[in-house]
Structures are given as structure tokens and as C-alpha cells.
Structure 1
Amino acid sequence: MVEELPPRHLPGHIAAALAGAGGQADSAGRPWAGRSLAGEDAEIHNFQDDDGAADAGYLASIAGLLEGACDEAAVVASLAGARIFVPIVAQLAEDAEGVDGLHADKQADMALVTLKAPDGRTALPVFTSAASLASWHPEARPVAVYAARAALSAVAEGAELLVIDPGSDVTFVVRRPAVWALAKQQPWLPSYADPDLAVAMCSAAAGTPAVRRLEILPGSGVGSSTGRGIPVSGGGPGPELRVVLYLDDGLDATAVQGLVSGLHQTWARNVLFGECVDSIEVTLKRAAD
């Protein structure tokens, strides 16, 4: 069963960073509203000599992921210092009546492009190269930023996911805990590989006698596939954490439902769980198995 997690509150340092960045602004703190792409606005901030190619470190980490030589944590780590492109598009802010009653653009603002993930959450698409962005949306304008600033922009837009290179052969989804880690410029450890989280969840389950033991494993949504159908051991949208509960025999459906619900509420009150876990699925097994 897949559990729906409660809304997450932003850590204070991320909220402070967003306030300092000015809210509805680009990674340089400049508001999108009223922007044009002429003159100085056409410059790519801090990257005027950029050739638009994908970051070599990111490409190497993706190659390692495909070969099984590294995991998705290594891919996220490669993004920490990588330049990526955020797409922005013109958005009509105000129109006016033109000749013969036809509507004409009076004012257009620039806006970030966002997507809806299959589970309904908002996702921010970003691109490792100017070419991949142009292929995905020819009318979008690329804004070059470091991934950490893009993560802050994602949070500002209410997006919980970063989607790297949508429409490309390899699309990698950065889930909420990793987005927060990028925004904080801190290392990220997947929930299923976090020993401290395992201890916290097992300690919570110890108060439930019917649970003999508990395991945490990668969830069914960790993996993805390339556009050619080749399996990839990371970059999926979730659920990323699978919890296996080994239960006593003799529990009826009502008792099991109450047990799982109670554990989930206990876990959700744990700060570490709230920051580390994006999505969870629970598998039930008999303790004798």
C-alpha cells in the first residue's frame, strides 16, 4: 500500500533564503514581472561565456548510473556545482482592445514553466544544456543558474520536484528531500540508505508488539527508464521508500489497518522522517517468512 504523506513545512533556513531572494524572482533576485529579453535582460547571469553544453560532471554521473557504477545520490551530488538552464516564457499580464475590437497584448511578463507530475504535485523542469531546452520548448528562453538556485526557485513556485531534461533520452527526477538538500547546499542521502532514519523508524515500531521486525528498502518508484526503454536504477518520481513490516499471525484486516495507520502517524511526527522521506509504500509480511 502507498501512504500519502502530510504537507511538509519548509525548514527555517530555506524559508529565510527564499525571503532574501525576493520571492517571485529569478536566481539573481530580479523579479520576473515586467522583464523583456532585450539589452541587459538578454544576458545569461554570470555565464556570458557559457557554450550551453551540459555539465561534464553530471553527464559522467548519469553514465555511471546507467552502467550501475554509481547511485542516484551521486547524480544529485554532481548537480551541486553544476550550471543548468531554467526555462521562462512570456505570459500575458494585461491585454487591450485593438483595432476592430481585436485583443492586443498590452503587457507581458516572464514566468517560470512548471509541470504537473503524475501524482498531482508541481514540478520544475530544468535542462543541462541549451540544446535540450530548445528541443523541449523552442519558445522558452534559457536562464542559466546553479542547481542550488534552481532548487530555491522550485520551492518558491511550490514545486516539490525538479525534472532534469524532460523529453530527453535520460530524464532524472530530483525528489523533494534532494531538492531541499540542493537548496541548502548540503549532501543528500536517500531515505532508503539512511541508517539514522532506519533506527528512528524501528524505534517507533518497537512500541507495537505485533510488529516483529521492520526493513527499509528502495521503493518501486526509485528506478526509471531511458527513452529507449533501458532500465535506470534511479531518477524515478517515487515512491522512493519501501517499508516491510513483519507482523504476527492472526491479525484481521481492521487490526492491520489500524496498526499501519498508527505507525504512519508516529513516523510523521518525527522531524527526520519529515525531512528525509518524500513518498512511502508499506509491504506486509508474516513474521514467520
Structure 2
Amino acid sequence: MADTAHGPAADGTTPALPEDLQVAAAMAARSRLERLLAAPTPFAHDDGSADPTVTAALNAEGLARHEYLDQLLAALSASRLIVPVAAHSIGEPARLQLGETAPAAHEPHTNDAAEDAVDLAVRLADGHLALPVFTSAAAAAAWRDDVRPVPVSPQRAAQVACMSTDQLWVLDPGTRDLRLPRPAVVALAGGEDWIPSWRNEPVQTEVAAQLGAVDGVTGVAFAPGESAELRIFIRVDASAGTPAVAATLEACQYVMVNPAWGELIDTVELCPVPG
């Protein structure tokens, strides 16, 4: 009787599979691919174009910064995003700066495009790491022509940003380079609506309580920031002199640099007001 085993031969080599088994393996692989391609996906007919609602929000003029961000985040959360998937280098993937060239090619290492996009996370000017997300395939190609644009839901992109970066997105790096607020990304990752700190009463109540406990603070008020998310007006008792005022302001800054605020308030402007 002929030996039908397919293990290593006496010389250490592995004999080729019989032709009928090769055909069966090929047909099985083809069947798996066909099932994957036939699987329903919300992006089956996505041509990579920017969502007109998102484009309108991005191009809106004459709005205050907080109104602009409010409208833009609402549009983004109701749309889809593009994430870039690049070839992987052998070994640990490197974090790339804006404009850096991709390493040598290999296939993506996961079945999740958003997770693969983390390999191209960008370092922002303030040192934080952000997930690059795009409004369109064209915007991704303008950033780097060696990436594959893949559509993903905003929630999935937010979840990956929260797990693998500093809970940040940078929108359309290379063209707009727009850093989106951390609390918005965190809220989206959890399937919640973002309530900005400039209209979030529970957050403001807690901030006012902590700042109000600082010696020399006689009042706290809030407004949308001009260059930051939230502007905090601190009324300071100036009767004790300049050194006391300086100590009060230093204590207020210490309160606000607590990392616990990070998921609630992105950036803050402290504005002292004489008492």
C-alpha cells in the first residue's frame, strides 16, 4: 500500500500536496473571500467623497470658535470618517511625524482598519499623539500617497483613538491639521453626545467649587474660550497685595492642571479679574 502521509520526507523536505487537495484548498480560500466580500457593510457604496454636510461645517465662516466646533462635531458624528492604512515594517510599528515616509511594505496586521491606522498616529505640536482621520479619500491622498483610505464609523475611530493615542483626532492632517477636542472624542467613543464645557453645567459647578475653595478667590464665571475650549474668569481679592494675588493664581492653575479634567475639558484659559 502506498504511503499517503504528507509530513516531512526523510530528507527533511515537505512534499507538495496532491493536485486534488491543492484545488480543494484553493476553492476553500476563494469561498472564504467571496463570503467576506458579500458580507454587508455600511460603506459598500462609499466612493471616498467628503460628506457635503461635513464640508459645509468645515467651510462655515463668521462663527465664533465654539460655534464652529459645535457644528463640526455634530456633522462628523453623523457621517463617516476615512482612516489611512499603510504597509507595516517588520517589528514594532513606528510613530510617524507629519510628512514622514512610510517604511517598507507588508500587509496590515489586524482586521480592524482603525487599529491599523494607529501605526500612522501623528505627534502634534504640543507633544500629544493623535489619530489621523480624514473627511475624504482625496484628503488622505494629499497627506500621503502611500496609504489606503478606509471608511470607518466615527465611534470606532474614537474608540481606537482613546485606546491607543492621547484620546485625540487630527482632522485632515496635511491640509487642515485640525485638532479636535479630547472630550468630544471620548464622548463619541462611548456613544454619547458631546456637551462642551462652555455649556456643561455639572462640569462648571465642580470647577467653581474647587476654584472657590482657593484662598483669595471671591467669584468664578465661565464663557467659551477664544483660543481654548473654556474661558474661566476668576475674581481675586486684591486687597492683600501682589504676592497674595500671585499665590492665589498659582493655586488656581494647580487646580486646573489636574489630569482628571482631561476627559471633561480640553483646554482652559484662566482670566483673573480684580475683586
Query: TM-score surpassing 0.5?
Result: yes
State the distance in 2 between where 1:198 and 1:85 align: 34
State the distance in 2 between where 1:131 and 1:42 align: 24
The Cα shift of 1:106 comes to 9.4
Cα RMSD after superposing both structures: 3.1
Per-residue CA deviations over 1:56-100 (Å, capped at 9, x if unaligned) read 22123224x424295311211111221111011112115xxxxxx
State the distance in 2 between where 1:85 and 1:199 align: 37
Structure 1: give runs of 5+ residues left out of the alignment.
Answer: 1-38, 95-104, 222-238
Per-residue CA deviations over 1:17-46 (Å, capped at 9, x if unaligned) read xxxxxxxxxxxxxxxxxxxxxx78999954
Note closer, same or farther for the CA distance 1:90–1:183 as it changes in structure 2 (3 Å cut).
same
- 2:219 is aligned, of 210, 213, 228, to 213
Note closer, same or farther for the CA distance 1:256–1:108 as it changes in structure 2 (3 Å cut).
farther
Note closer, same or farther for the CA distance 1:145–1:108 as it changes in structure 2 (3 Å cut).
closer
Does 2:127 correspond to 1:120?
A: yes
Q: When the two structures are superposed, what TM-score results if normalisation uses the length of structure 1?
A: 0.65
Q: State the partner residue of 2:274.
A: 286
The answer (yes or no) to whether the contact 2:222–2:232 under 8 Å persists in 1 is yes
Q: State the partner residue of 1:255.
A: 244
Q: State the partner residue of 1:276.
A: 264
Question: What aligned pairs does 1:35-114 form with structure 2 within 5 A after superposition?
Answer: 46-63=42-59, 65-68=60-63, 70-93=67-90, 109=108, 111-112=116-117, 113-114=120-121
The Cα shift of 1:166 comes to 1.9
Per-residue CA deviations over 1:261-280 (Å, capped at 9, x if unaligned) read 44455567796x45311222
Q: State the partner residue of 1:136.
A: 143
SS in 2 for 1:182: helix
Amino acid at match of 1:141: R
Structure 2: give runs of 5+ residues left out of the alignment.
Answer: 1-32, 92-103, 110-115
State the distance in 1 between where 2:42 and 2:213 align: 54
State the distance in 2 between where 1:106 and 1:140 align: 11
Note closer, same or farther for the CA distance 1:107–1:275 as it changes in structure 2 (3 Å cut).
closer
The answer (yes or no) to whether the contact 2:238–2:245 under 8 Å persists in 1 is no
Note closer, same or farther for the CA distance 1:270–1:124 as it changes in structure 2 (3 Å cut).
closer
Question: What aligned pairs does 1:107-186 form with structure 2 within 5 A after superposition?
Answer: 109=108, 111-112=116-117, 113-168=120-175, 170-186=176-192
State the distance in 2 between where 1:208 and 1:107 align: 56
Identity, % of aligned pairs? 29
State the distance in 2 between where 1:192 and 1:257 align: 26
Q: State the partner residue of 2:229.
A: 240
The answer (yes or no) to whether the contact 1:73–1:189 under 8 Å persists in 2 is no
Higher strand share: 1
The structure with the larger Rg is: 2
Note closer, same or farther for the CA distance 1:137–1:45 as it changes in structure 2 (3 Å cut).
farther
After the TM superposition, which of the residue ranges 256-265 and 85-94 deviates more from structure 2? 256-265
Note closer, same or farther for the CA distance 1:251–1:47 as it changes in structure 2 (3 Å cut).
same
Per-residue CA deviations over 1:157-215 (Å, capped at 9, x if unaligned) read 223221111223x4432111000011112111221232332222223333345212222
The answer (yes or no) to whether the contact 1:80–1:185 under 8 Å persists in 2 is no
SS in 1 for 2:90: strand
Instruction: Report runs of 4+ in structure 1 exceeding 6 Å deviation.
Output: 39-44, 268-271
